[in-house]
Amino acid sequence: MPNPANPEASARTLREQFPILDEGLYLNHAAVGPWPRCAAEAVRAFAAENLNHGPARYAAWIERTDELRDGLARLTGAASAADIALLKNTTEGISAVAWGLDWRDGDNLVLPRSEFPSNRLPWLAQRSRGVDVREVDICSAADAEAALIGAMDSRTRLLSVSAVQWSDGFRLDLQRLGDACHQRGALFFVDAIQQLGALEVDVAACRIDYLAADAHKWLLGPEGIAVFYSNAASRPLLELLQQGWHMVDNAWNFQRNDWTPADSARRFEAGSPNTLGQAAMHASVRLLLKQGMETVENRVLANTAHLLERLPALPGVRLASRTAVGRRSGIVNFTVRDQPPGQLHRQLSEAGVSCALRGDGIRLSPHFYQDRRELDRFLERIAHIV
pLDDT digits (tens, 9 = 90+) for 200-219: 999 999 999 999 999 999 99
Q: 11-15, 92-96, 257-261, 338-342: which has the highest mean pLDDT?
A: 92-96
Residues 120, 178, single domain; the answer is yes
Query: Is the predicted pLDDT of residue 11 greater than 70, yes or no?
Result: no
Query: Is the predicted pLDDT of residue 4 greater than 60, yes or no?
Result: no
Q: Could you give the number of structural domains in the chain?
A: 2
Contact in structure between 222 and 215 (CB atoms under 8 Å): yes
pLDDT for the residue 12: 53
pLDDT for the residue 13: 86
Of the three residues 290, 307, 333, the one that is the final residue of a domain is 290
pLDDT for the residue 7: 39
pLDDT for the residue 163: 98
Residues 253, 366, single domain; the answer is no
User: How far is the C-alpha of 258 from the C-alpha of 240, rounded, in Å?
Assistant: 16
End-to-end CA distance of the chain: 42
Residues 179, 209, single domain; the answer is yes
168 found inside a domain: yes
pLDDT for the residue 6: 42
Residues 271, 348, single domain; the answer is no
User: How far is the C-alpha of 58 from the C-alpha of 60, rounded, in Å?
Assistant: 5
CATH of the domain at 224: 3.40.640.10
- Which residues span the domain enclosing 366? 7-35+293-385
Residues 164-185, mean pLDDT to the nearest whole number: 98
Tell me: the pLDDT tens digits for 113-144? Answer: 999 999 999 999 999 999 999 999 999 999 99
Residues 94, 210, single domain; the answer is yes
CATH of the domain at 307: 3.90.1150.10
Query: Is the predicted pLDDT of residue 295 greater than 60, yes or no?
Result: yes
Contact in structure between 50 and 275 (CB atoms under 8 Å): no
More confident residue, 268 or 2: 268
Residues 305, 377, single domain; the answer is yes
Tell me: the pLDDT tens digits for 227-240? Answer: 999 999 999 999 99
pLDDT for the residue 3: 42
Residues 256, 313, single domain; the answer is no
Tell me: the pLDDT tens digits for 55-101? Answer: 999 999 999 999 999 999 999 999 999 999 999 999 999 999 999 99
Average per-residue pLDDT in the chain? 95
Task: Place 386 in a pLDDT band, splitting at 50, 70 and 90.
Answer: confident
The H or E element containing residue 302 is: helix 293-310
pLDDT for the residue 359: 84
Tell me: the pLDDT tens digits for 89-99? Answer: 999 999 999 99
Tell me: the pLDDT tens digits for 342-368? Answer: 999 999 999 999 999 998 999 999 999
Residues 307, 271, single domain; the answer is no
Residues 314-323, mean pLDDT to the nearest whole number: 96
User: How far is the C-alpha of 25 from the C-alpha of 315, rounded, in Å?
Assistant: 22
Of the three residues 228, 261, 290, the one that is the final residue of a domain is 290
44 found inside a domain: no
Contact in structure between 323 and 348 (CB atoms under 8 Å): no
